[in-house]
Amino acid sequence: MKIINEMRLVFPSKSLNESFARTTIASFISCLDPTISELADIKTAVSEAVTNSIVHAYKETVGSIYISSQIYENGKITIKIKDKGSGIEDVKKAMEPLFTTGGEERAGLGFAVMQSFMDKIKVISKIGKGTTVTMEKTIIPRVKLNK
């Protein structure tokens, strides 16, 4: 399937970049003319993954967060969110709803939201090396995509 657009974005793990990241993705996919609900789903999933890198991966430090995204001819969007932070010991357990190591104010629902709001999600993590979350969602294009 042909890629019709792509982008890469790098920024530091500061919490004010949670909104920057999801707004940038929203602007990037706007050429597909997504519905308000498709747009909200994708923004929320990106917000969850970026927040995890800020809150968990780079807990006491500031590190870089790497986002890359592709749009395919058929309306498929892939989004990769990567950090070089702490890594996750047990990915399967981490992905269980309500599981959190983040204390009182974390709901433990970040991965559950990503799973439910996107078509596919894959998590690769290595302790001390970092975590990569890859997500996918297909939007039925409502406008003709040219160039």
Partner 1 sequence: MAVKIEKRSGCVIATLDGDIDHHTAKNIRESIDSEVEKTKPKILKLDFNKVNFMDSSGIGLIMGRYKLMKLLNGDLELINVSQRIGKIMRLSGIYKLKKY
Ligand X SMILES: Nc1ncnc2c1ncn2[C@@H]1O[C@H](COP(=O)(O)OP(=O)(O)O)[C@@H](O)[C@H]1O
Q: Which residues are catalytic?
A: 48, 52, 106
Question: What six digits make up the tokens of 29?
Answer: 């996919």
Nearer to ligand X, 28 or 111 (CB): 111
User: How far lies 33's CA from each of 27, 47, 78, 117, 119, in Å?
Assistant: 10, 20, 16, 18, 18
Q: Which does 88 bind (CB under 5 to 8 A by kind): ligand X, its own copies, partner 1, none?
A: ligand X
Q: Note whether 4 and 73 are within 8 A (CB).
A: yes
Q: Which stretch binds its own copies (CB under 8 A): 24-32, 35-43, 85-93, 125-133?
A: 24-32
Position among 2, 5, 141, 142 found at the interface with its own copies (CB under 8 A)? 5
Q: Does 100 bind ligand X (CB under 6 A)?
A: yes
For position 73 contacting its own copies by CB under 8 A, the verdict is no
Contact flags string 108-147 toward its own copies, x per CB under 8 A: ---------------------------------------x
Closest distance of CB 33 from its own copies, Å: 12
Helices 110-117, 36-52: crossing angle, 10 deg rounding: 150
Q: Rounded to an integer, what distance in angstroms lies between the CA atom of residue 53 and that of residue 111? A: 12
Instruction: Give the C-alpha separation, 16 to 80, whole Å.
Output: 20
16 binds partner 1 per the rule CB under 8 A:
yes
